[in-house]
Amino acid sequence: MKTVQQWLKDVDRENLLGTYQFLYPPDFMRLKNEEMSVAEVYNRQKEIVSDFIDHLIGLETQPNEDQMIFLAVSAYNEGRADTQAVLVSANELNQDQPDHYDWMMTDREKLAGYDIADTEATVDEICTVLAQIIEDATFLGYSQETFTEEREKLCQSLKESEEDIKNGRVYSAEEVWEHLGLKPEKKDSEAMELQAKVTRAEITYNQYSLRKELGLLRHLLVGEGIDLNITDENSCTGKPETSLNGNK
């Protein structure tokens, strides 16, 4: 398997940037320049993302001690077929329902050293996988300084939220809507029931797809001589209880 950093070196840069901009069109407000034309904003986003890729390529990666691996999984989200990058640990693949993780707050030296699976679906969708990795990795900012600062703020906010919950300070949905100055949507019971059926069908499909790809990853790793202590109960045909939306 190649690491994130190795794939960023080897992949066609223009194809990756094109995939990124297709999936994540530029946010005019985020780029903070309303006087630029649409073409200029797109070009500016392309420059910023390309610089970030160079930043990841230039890092001295940390050892992947937790054996973190990215893989691509087919998923449905609000009726749209999509490919989703999922991050798991090889240390947990002997479990029937291994956790999968978010990387938004991960140190970039660690992230660049994470592996990317050699499964067929992942290699076929490598630009999509890399684009999603970049998008989440830059959610708190492109520069290292901004990333570190915003991560500290977010950690503090999470601590405060935990304290609020511990002290019983919670807010109803109506209070949140009122605080935001928005009017709650009118409820249509029949529409909500139909939407719930769609959501359940999507979850069932996503769980199946995740189990399937995890099974292929397990067999790939075993073929490379990695002992995962896999039993029949840990096959990709286990109970559909792991959700693509359950990032840890």
**Predicted confidence band at 192 (pLDDT cuts at 50, 70, 90)?**
confident
Please write the tens of the pLDDT for every residue from 239-248: 333 334 334 4
Q: Mean pLDDT throughout 156-162?
A: 72
Cα-based torsion angle of the residue sequence 157, 160, 166, 167 in order, rounded to the nearest 10 degrees: -140
Q: Mean pLDDT throughout 135-158?
A: 80
With residue 85 as reference, give the H or E element that holds it: strand 80-89
SS3 label, residue 104: coil
Q: Residue 13 above 80 pLDDT?
A: yes
Residue 125: predicted pLDDT:
96
| Token pair listed for 238 | 């286990």
Instruction: Name the residue with higher pLDDT: 36 or 236.
Output: 36
Average pLDDT, the chain: 82
Dist. CA 21–CA 35, nearest whole Å? 20
Q: Residue 124 above 90 pLDDT?
A: yes
Nearest partner of 84 among 199, 239, 246, 201, judged by Cα: 246
**Predicted confidence band at 31 (pLDDT cuts at 50, 70, 90)?**
low
From residue 99, alpha-carbon distances to 134, 170, 210 in Å are 21, 28, 11
Residue 171 DSSP code: -
Residue 61: predicted pLDDT:
94
Q: Mean pLDDT throughout 201-219?
A: 91
Residue 34: predicted pLDDT:
62
Residue 30: predicted pLDDT:
55
Q: How many helices (H) and strands (E) does the chain have?
A: 10, 4
Residue 237: predicted pLDDT:
33
**Predicted confidence band at 230 (pLDDT cuts at 50, 70, 90)?**
low
Instruction: Name the residue with higher pLDDT: 186 or 89.
Output: 89
Q: Mean pLDDT throughout 220-234?
A: 66
Instruction: Name the residue with higher pLDDT: 135 or 149.
Output: 135
